[in-house]
């Protein structure tokens, strides 16, 4: 199955080579969870982050589904 991943701010350091400026399609396996995205991209597990799926806040242990749009960014602060 395929999902779309959008990376922001410091997480762009982990964009796969050749991907769009902020987003890319990722092939995942059935039963993969959000944490697998972090493993695939080599994002350190202890990097503080917010994860959204279709705009809703989710946790790393959530199961992925085909067509998910996952956004990952640093905790928001400022304004």
Partner 1 sequence: MDKLCRIHMDKLECELAPIPPELKYLGGRGLCSTLIANEVRPTCYPLGFENKLVIAPGILAGTVSPCSQRVSVGAKSPLTGGIKEANAGGTFGQKMGRLGLAAIVLEGKPETDQLYIAHINCDGARLEVADDLKGSGNYKVTEALRAKYGNHIGIVTIGPAGEMRMASASVAMADQDGIPARHAARGGLGAVMGSKSVKAIFIDDTGVPKTVPADNDKTFKRIVKEFIAVIKERPRVKHRLHRFGTAGLLLAVNELNSLPTRNFSKGQTEMAERIAGESVTELINARGGQTGHGCYSGCIIRCSNKFNDKDGSHLTSSFEYETLALMGSNCEIYDIDAIAKMDRLCDDIGIDTIETGGAIGVAMESGFLSFGDHRRVIEILHEIRKGTPLGRVIGNGTAITGKVFGVERVPTIKRQCLPGWDPRTAVATGITFMTSPQGADHTAGRLQGIMEFDLLDKGNIAALSKDMQMRSCFYDTVGLCHFADGTTESIEWQAKLLSAFSGKTFSEDDAMKLGETILRTEIGFNTAAGISDAQDNLPEFMNKEPLPPGITFPVSQEEITATFAGLKKSGS
Binding site for partner 1 (CB under 8 A): 6, 8-10, 12, 21-22, 47-48, 50, 52, 55-57, 71, 73-79
Query: d(Cα 53, Cα 69) in Å, to the nearest integer?
Result: 6
Q: Among the residues of 1-79, which ranges form H helices? A: 34-41
Q: Distance between CA atoms of 8 and 27, rounded to whole angstroms?
A: 20
**33 three-state secondary structure:** strand
């Amino acid at each position: 199955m395929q999902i779309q991943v959008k990376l922001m701010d410091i997480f762009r350091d982990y964009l796969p080579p050749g991907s769009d400026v902020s987003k890319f399609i990722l092939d995942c396996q059935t039963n993969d969870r959000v944490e697998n995205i972090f493993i695939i991209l080599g994002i350190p597990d202890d990097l503080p982050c917010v994860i959204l799926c279709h705009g809703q806040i989710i946790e790393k242990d959530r199961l992925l589904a085909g067509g998910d749009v996952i956004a990952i960014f640093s905790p928001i602060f400022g304004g």
